[in-house]
Structure 1
Amino acid sequence: MSGLIVTALVILVFIVIYQIAKASELATILRGEEKVKMQTNRLMAWLMVAFFFLGAYGIWKCHVALADKMLPESASLEGVNYDHMLIVTLWMTGFVFVITQVALFWFVFRYQATETRKAFFYSHNNKLEVLWTTVPALALVVLVVIGLKNWFAITAEAPENSLVVQVMGKQFNWLIRYPGADKMLGKTDFRLMDDATNVMGLDWNDPASHDDIIIENGEMHIVTQRPVQLVINSRDVIHDVGLPHFRMKMDAVPGITTTMWFTPRTTTEQMKMDTHNPNFVYEISCDQMCGKGHYSMRGTVVVQTQKEFDAWLKEQPAYYANVQKANAPAPPAGAAAPATDTTKAATPVDTTATGATASAMTTPAQHK
């Protein structure tokens, strides 16, 4: 019952406010203040013109002031196509934007309300409707075709000489895996994932996984002028592998493997010189909100020559070896340390006399 009363009171208040506003408007007209309204219209029309020019100047000024904050040229060959697509899109939409905005502000100024002007009622124009529907539709088809062509190019089968790298997102960092000497990534199983001993769920029953290399600090090394195929997935929620300097991005989805490939064309060292920034780094960003630690999903990419990459990869231990070492049983407490000179500490048993195995060892005293 109280709810109905409150609702009725709210409705009544709105009705009263509406009636007061209506009465105020009628009173203004009766007092002959319509001229004041016309003066206000003229003032607003001129202010719109001023706003147009100030806004245009502000946009230009921001572009000049923030020019050094723009991304440098694409660091991948495929990214050049995306930059071209962006430029085409901006020219097409920018042309329409300028025309429509100029017309908008001009109409506000030119056709402002006056005491003698009566609004012209224009119901519809079939030819005009067809024109402004067909032209944008055709333009959109062109842009979509260009976009699909570029998309299918980077998601198609990678070249045979591609470097294969797995990128796995997890809350809240990136895991990077490289194949070992066999050039094959071993099998994985999400049921085997464990932060302490198996962060990516490698299947140790698959020999191909024994020489795989896992980088847990989110630093990915790739080779300039050599295609790299990224095999992307997620351990928990949806992430997104964003590589802005290469103009690449792809969702990392739990339970689904996504792939893309591109060809780096500028090493990290060269980009430092090109940007005049000795601290420049290529970045891996998570372009999908993935939780409260999303801000920390930042990795790095190091683009090297083939020789530099081979030297770096050679220094990385296989993840399987690290796990074996970490899980090796500790020596029993109080165990004697091995003698320094094992040739004096023990002598082999004469197997011709005792029939013992060649690996058996005994001390000289025991031999007597």
Structure 2
Amino acid sequence: MTLLIVILAVVFLVLTIMVISKTQTLLKGVKGSSESEVEDAMTDGANNANAIGLFVFWIVSVIGMVWSFNYAKKDFLMAFGDLPTASSTHGKETDYWFWFGMAVITIAFVLVNTVLFYFPLKYRYNKDRKAYFYPHNNTLEIVWTLIPAIVMAGLVFTGLRVWNRVMSDAPKDAEVIEIMGKQFGWQVRYGGNDDGKLGNYSYKLINDAEGNEFGLDFTDENSFDDFTSNTEIHIPKGKPVLLKIRARDVLHSVFIPHMRVKMDAVPGMPTKFWFVAEKSTADMRAELGNPDFKYEIACTEVCGRSHFAMKLTLIVDEPADYEKWKKEQKSLLATKPEFIEKVPANLKAKAMKYIMPESATTASNDTTTTAASL
């Protein structure tokens, strides 16, 4: 890139010298001529040089654009290069319409600017040519207004249709997972294995020292089986996943590049995004031939000094593996049994089975045996 800039600078310098030299030659060649002849000669020379120079500039620019596109496409996030096509259902549609829009805009840009740079060359000053007076044409006005309007309206309404579908309510069978951003990391909460529902929370209950970073409300029995993670997030392949997103301190933004997922995490204003992952982590490793490949969740909202390090590993499991992994997780109540003190008296018996599941099972069996003997 540095070499290209140096070459362009040299070309610009050479052209400047040529223009100055040509101007000096014209001035010397017209000495002794009438003032009108001198003026005509200078005007012809300047217009020719400018017109040709402009068109050459446009040709060089087009070549430069094509070269830069091919040079940089290996680093593109979407359909080209090292990163594969989208790994989510909506992501493929998003990519398609992105590149469709880019193609339409590029074609219009090249056509309009080609005409713009060609006209100064074709219609440069000529003393033997008379200008054609063309004040107005209603048909022409309608054509060049209507065609761009139809094209732009088509792009806008197509994009709106895709946006409405992507941002619609998640299916009822979606796996609901909460992801919370805080300086400088992501934390994840699942609804547990029993009810699959996320329990209530309150920012007033957040206490990092006690281990209640989510501010779970243990007066809500749906919180009893909730479990959390701050090292990785698991989701099932082929099933809708609804991410409930929030932030604890400043603005963050959930970004899963391979899934084409991006949604801001705003303090005090929960957001959401649902998607369907089509490729498991194992599928991607096989497709890329990279046994170390990992999906990643990053933060794309500058949130402080360590923003760059705010990442979380995303693991897409086969459905059976995902259910197996969930069953292996311990609820927050089981890892922090002292939270039983926050449970209302009438719910303590229900909460105890998450703290001492074996005891609860034994007690249940004893009760059943006693009832049977009676």
Q: Which TM-score applies when normalising by structure 2? A: 0.69
- Whose helix fraction is larger, Structure 1's or Structure 2's? 2
1:55 and 2:61 equivalent? yes
What value does the CA root-mean-square deviation take over the aligned residues? 3.1
Q: How does 1:32-111 map to 2 (within 5 A)?
A: 39-70=45-76, 71=78, 72-111=84-123
SS of the aligned residue for 1:211 comes to: coil
1:289 and 2:302 equivalent? yes
Cα distance, 1:213–1:138 mapped onto 2, change above 3 Å: same
Unpaired runs of 5+ residues, structure 2, are 1-26, 28-34, 79-83, 342-374
SS of the aligned residue for 1:148 comes to: helix
Q: Which residue of 2 aligns with 1:18?
A: none
Residue from 287, 290, 308 that aligns with 1:274: 287
1:215 and 2:221 equivalent? no
Q: Which residue of 1 aligns with 2:158?
A: 146
Cα distance, 1:39–1:180 mapped onto 2, change above 3 Å: same
SS of the aligned residue for 1:229 comes to: strand
Q: Which residue of 2 aligns with 1:242?
A: 255
Cα distance, 1:172–1:269 mapped onto 2, change above 3 Å: same
Report deviation, 1:266.
0.8
1:315 and 2:321 equivalent? no
Provide the rounded CA distance (Å) in 1 between the counterparts of 2:139 and 2:281.
56
Partner AA of 1:248 in structure 2: V
Cα distance, 1:118–1:166 mapped onto 2, change above 3 Å: farther
Report deviation, 1:187.
0.3
Q: How does 1:76-225 map to 2 (within 5 A)?
A: 76-113=88-125, 125-181=137-193, 182-196=195-209, 197-217=211-231, 219-225=232-238
Partner AA of 1:100 in structure 2: V
Provide the rounded CA distance (Å) in 1 between the counterparts of 2:128 and 2:294.
65
Greater radius of gyration (CA) = 1
Provide the rounded CA distance (Å) in 2 between the counterparts of 1:320 and 1:118.
90
Provide the rounded CA distance (Å) in 1 between the counterparts of 2:306 and 2:126.
58
Partner AA of 1:50 in structure 2: V
Contact 2:333–2:340 (CA under 8 A) maintained in structure 1: no
Q: Deviations over 1:95-122 (max 9, x none)?
A: 2112112112212333345677787776
Partner AA of 2:281 in structure 1: T
Cα distance, 1:322–1:117 mapped onto 2, change above 3 Å: farther
Q: Deviations over 1:221-254 (max 9, x none)?
A: 1111111111112222332222221122222222
Cα distance, 1:229–1:45 mapped onto 2, change above 3 Å: same
Cα distance, 1:110–1:327 mapped onto 2, change above 3 Å: farther
Provide the rounded CA distance (Å) in 2 between the counterparts of 1:161 and 1:47.
64
Corresponding residue pairs, total: 299
Provide the rounded CA distance (Å) in 1 between the counterparts of 2:183 and 2:43.
60
Contact 2:200–2:222 (CA under 8 A) maintained in structure 1: yes
SS of the aligned residue for 2:187 comes to: strand
Cα distance, 1:133–1:216 mapped onto 2, change above 3 Å: same
Provide the rounded CA distance (Å) in 2 between the counterparts of 1:201 and 1:283.
26
